[in-house]
């Protein structure tokens, strides 16, 4: 039998152990496609997507939930351009997605008239070079295995992120001799970065010397072990914990969890634990004037443990505002947190009973305030967001559940019990990202008994309605409960704020914002694309029963179901 260049590419992809490859089909990788299906026996399994952005987003969500990299394939320039937003958000969110793309053919004599010319670039990776960790375009079959394996290593080396590898269509479709693969066992992801021992000890000494310490945690939770380590550290030191939600870092019902409170204003020491944006959790924002004010006391010690300047973008400002710190220790928290905990066990002598009591008070005051707000809104129709979160919670508590990307404006964290590190892989990243990432999370748990739940905003789903077909076709079980306020309400709220500030007509803020007249029938669309669908529901008393019926279908039949709940704009 003849051997093709794309067979060699599949050998290298298989060696890396990718479980799935998501794609939207394109002729620029028809050779690779054939080899994956026939030579590779559809292993890794193809996840057929109806948009390139969704192909990247599904890989993104899978990596967040599983902790393992996933691959996707995009059609030459046009597919890559369609997938750019997905790649950018994978970069922002440190997701190790390995993106393959068809290219060329780069040899002029192999190109079809017109189409291969307008779809070919000199350096295809230029499109995404500003928001990938690395890109490559190997020019010989012998170079391909090294390129693919290096891409895997770069993507998975912390701080993680996406890479892009363009695979020449001519190389794919040409005959090839046997190519000896590098020894994959000697090329796997490098060990994580450890801290400077003296600097980490100084950080531990400063932390243990504090009377009122608060930890702010962000990406540490990408390692499931951090969930327990941060609990141990908090219990040992009597430290409050603010969880930014970019990953699940800390149990929300722990009495030291002071997320949503002003605990940082009372702290005499603030330790940031793998945080990219130190301001969001520690600043007050005037949403009209865009003015910010730090909540950290001027005399408080500010400590930082994380990647700091490693992986800093020269293009995107995702590095956020520069904050003054008393001590920064550069390290991967996967290595540093256990070491810090041991040092604190050695150094800590203070009980901090007064601060522990104050943390419990802040935790209870915050929780009571949320409960009172929910009680006031309980009878509202359309359904209050707090009531939505509560009714869905009553259903999912009977299952071993996972919440995908959305949290219904953070209402889920107020009601649900986030008691395991896998409960939530991290918050969504903005409109047109959630349904794709959520499907990736659900794919990671396909074949398990987990109930994967997506609190799905309507504006986000309107970008990618076709994504529902992907779950039905690939039998990806997921319960989607629509958080449907029939508007792009985040932006609507901005327009109301500007109108108040300028004295313009606030009643016209809906223009360019509403998703109504006609209101999309999401349940009907879901049924048309192979899901179980119920709704729309605007009576809060009907929500729980509908969600329970849908959850039973997902659990018993292992297929997706959607319940459309019409919600208040809040």
Distance CA 419, CA 250 (A): 8
pLDDT of residue 513: 84
pLDDT at 28 over 80: yes
pLDDT of residue 500: 87
Distance CA 428, CA 410 (A): 11
pLDDT of residue 491: 81
Residues 6+ apart with CB under 8 A from 307: 158, 159, 193, 274, 330, 331, 332
CATH T-level topology, domain 378-566: Rossmann fold (3.40.50)
Q: Which of 43-52, 108-117, 247-256, 447-456 has the lowest mean pLDDT?
A: 108-117
pLDDT at 287 over 80: no
pLDDT of residue 569: 80
Closest CA to 163 of 196, 137, 194: 137
pLDDT of residue 488: 80
pLDDT at 320 over 90: no
Distance of CA 96 to the CA centre of its chain: 11
Sign of the four-CA dihedral 431, 432, 433, 436: positive
406-415 pLDDT per residue, tens: 899 999 999 9
Distance CA 170, CA 186 (A): 30
* CA-based max dimension of the chain: 78
pLDDT bracket for residue 514 (50, 70, 90): confident
pLDDT bracket for residue 516 (50, 70, 90): confident
Distance CA 13, CA 72 (A): 11
CA 565 to each of CA 94, 482, 538, 545: distance values in angstroms, whole numbers, following the listed order = 32, 5, 6, 12
Residues 6+ apart with CB under 8 A from 7: 35, 39, 176
Helices and strands in the chain: count of H runs, count of E runs: 20, 18
| Domain 5-186 identical in fold to domain 378-566 | yes
Distance CA 298, CA 214 (A): 15
Distance CA 79, CA 22 (A): 13
Whether 152 contacts 16, CB under 8 Å:
yes
| CB environment 530-548: b (16+ within 10 A), e (fewer) | bbbbbbbbbebebbbebbb
Q: What is the mean pLDDT of residues 465-491?
A: 92
* 3 state DSSP class of 313: coil
CA angle (254, 410, 87) in 5-degree steps: 110
Class of the domain covering 197-362: alpha beta
Assign domain 5-186 one CATH number from 1.10.260.40, 3.30.365.10, 3.40.50.970, 3.60.15.10.
Answer: 3.40.50.970
pLDDT of residue 501: 86
pLDDT of residue 356: 97
357-415 pLDDT per residue, tens: 999 999 999 999 999 999 999 999 999 999 999 999 999 999 999 999 989 999 999 99
pLDDT bracket for residue 14 (50, 70, 90): very high
pLDDT of residue 442: 98
Q: What is the mean pLDDT of residues 161-182?
A: 94
Distance CA 73, CA 56 (A): 8
pLDDT of residue 568: 87
pLDDT bracket for residue 311 (50, 70, 90): confident
pLDDT bracket for residue 33 (50, 70, 90): very high
Prediction pTM value: 0.96
pLDDT bracket for residue 304 (50, 70, 90): very high
Question: What six digits make up the tokens of 352?
Answer: 């901090």
CA 283 to each of CA 210, 250, 260, 291: distance values in angstroms, whole numbers, following the listed order = 21, 21, 12, 10
Whether 397 contacts 447, CB under 8 Å:
no
Q: What is the mean pLDDT of residues 307-327?
A: 90
458-473 pLDDT per residue, tens: 999 999 999 999 999 9
pLDDT of residue 73: 98
Q: Which of 60-74, 280-294, 298-312, 545-559 has the lowest mean pLDDT?
A: 280-294
Cβ-count burial of 214 within 10 angstroms (0-12 exposed, 13-18 middle, 19+ buried)?
A: buried
Q: What is the mean pLDDT of residues 314-339?
A: 94
Which strands make up the sheet holding 479-484, listed edge to edge?
401-403, 451-457, 479-484, 561-566, 532-537
Question: What six digits make up the tokens of 292?
Answer: 């910010």
132-145 pLDDT per residue, tens: 999 999 999 999 99
Distance CA 44, CA 33 (A): 11
pLDDT of residue 290: 84
Distance of CA 198 to the CA centre of its chain: 34
Give me the residue spans of the domains in the chain.
Answer: 5-186, 197-362, 378-566
Mean of all residue pLDDT scores within the chain = 94
210-234 pLDDT per residue, tens: 999 999 999 999 999 999 999 999 9
Question: What six digits make up the tokens of 92?
Answer: 């922002």
pLDDT of residue 486: 79
């Amino acid at each position: 039998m003849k051997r093709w260049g794309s067979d060699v590419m599949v050998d290298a992809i298989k060696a890396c152990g990718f479980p799935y490859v998501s794609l939207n089909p394109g002729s620029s990788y028809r050779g690779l496609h054939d080899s994956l299906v026939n030579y590779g026996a559809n292993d890794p399994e193809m996840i057929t997507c109806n948009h390139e952005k969704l192909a990247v987003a599904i890989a993104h969500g899978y990596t967040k939930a599983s902790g393992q990299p996933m691959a996707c394939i995009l059609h030459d320039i046009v597919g890559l351009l369609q997938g750019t937003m997905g790649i950018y958000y994978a970069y922002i969110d440190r997701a190790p997605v390995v993106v393959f793309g068809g290219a060329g053919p780069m040899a002029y004599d192999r190109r079809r008239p017109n189409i291969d010319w307008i779809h070919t670039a000199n350096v295809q990776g230029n499109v995404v070079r500003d928001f990938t960790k690395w890109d490559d375009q190997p020019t010989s079959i012998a170079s391909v295995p090294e390129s693919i394996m290096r891409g895997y290593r770069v993507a998975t080396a912390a701080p993680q992120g996406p890479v892009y590898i363009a695979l020449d269509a001519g190389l794919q479709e040409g005959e090839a001799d046997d190519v000896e693969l590098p020894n994959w066992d000697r090329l796997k992801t490098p060990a994580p970065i450890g801290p400077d021992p003296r600097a980490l000890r100084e950080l531990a000494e400063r932390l243990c010397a504090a009377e009122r310490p608060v930890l702010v945690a962000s990406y540490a939770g990408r390692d499931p072990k951090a969930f327990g380590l941060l609990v141990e550290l908090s219990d040992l030191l009597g430290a409050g914990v603010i969880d930014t939600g970019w990953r699940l870092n800390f149990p929300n019902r722990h009495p030291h969890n002071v997320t949503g409170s002003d605990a940082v204003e009372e702290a005499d020491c603030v330790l940031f634990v793998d945080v990219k944006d130190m301001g969001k959790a520690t600043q007050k924002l005037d949403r009209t004037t865009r003015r910010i004010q730090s909540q950290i006391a001027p005399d408080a010690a500010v400590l930082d443990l994380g990647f700091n300047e490693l992986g800093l973008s020269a293009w995107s400002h995702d590095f956020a505002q520069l904050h003054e710190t008393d001590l920064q220790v550069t390290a991967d928290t996967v290595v540093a947190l256990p070491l810090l905990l041991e040092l604190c066990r050695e150094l800590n002598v203070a009980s901090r009973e007064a601060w522990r009591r104050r943390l419990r008070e802040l935790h209870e005051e915050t929780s009571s305030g949320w409960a009172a707000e929910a009680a006031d809104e309980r009878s509202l129709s359309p359904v209050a967001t707090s009531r939505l979160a509560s009714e869905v919670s009553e259903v999912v508590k009977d299952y071993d559940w996972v919440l995908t990307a959305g949290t219904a404006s953070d209402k889920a964290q107020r009601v649900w019990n986030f008691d395991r590190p896998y409960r939530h892989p991290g918050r969504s990243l903005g409109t047109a990202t959630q349904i794709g990432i959520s499907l990736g999370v659900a794919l990671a748990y396909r074949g398990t008994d987990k109930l994967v739940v997506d609190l799905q905003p309507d504006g986000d789903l309107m970008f990618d309605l076709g994504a529902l077909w992907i779950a039905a076709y690939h039998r990806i079980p997921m319960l989607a409960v629509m958080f449907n306020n029939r508007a792009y309400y985040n932006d609507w709220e901005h327009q109301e704020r500007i109108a108040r500030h300028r004295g313009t007509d606030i009643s016209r803020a809906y223009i360019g914002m509403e998703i109504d007249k006609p209101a999309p029938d999401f349940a009907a669309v879901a049924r048309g694309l192979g899901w179980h669908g119920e709704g729309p529901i605007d009576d809060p008393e009907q929500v729980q029963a509908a969600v329970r019926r849908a959850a039973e279908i997902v659990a018993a039949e292992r297929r997706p179901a959607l319940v459309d709940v019409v919600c208040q704009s809040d």
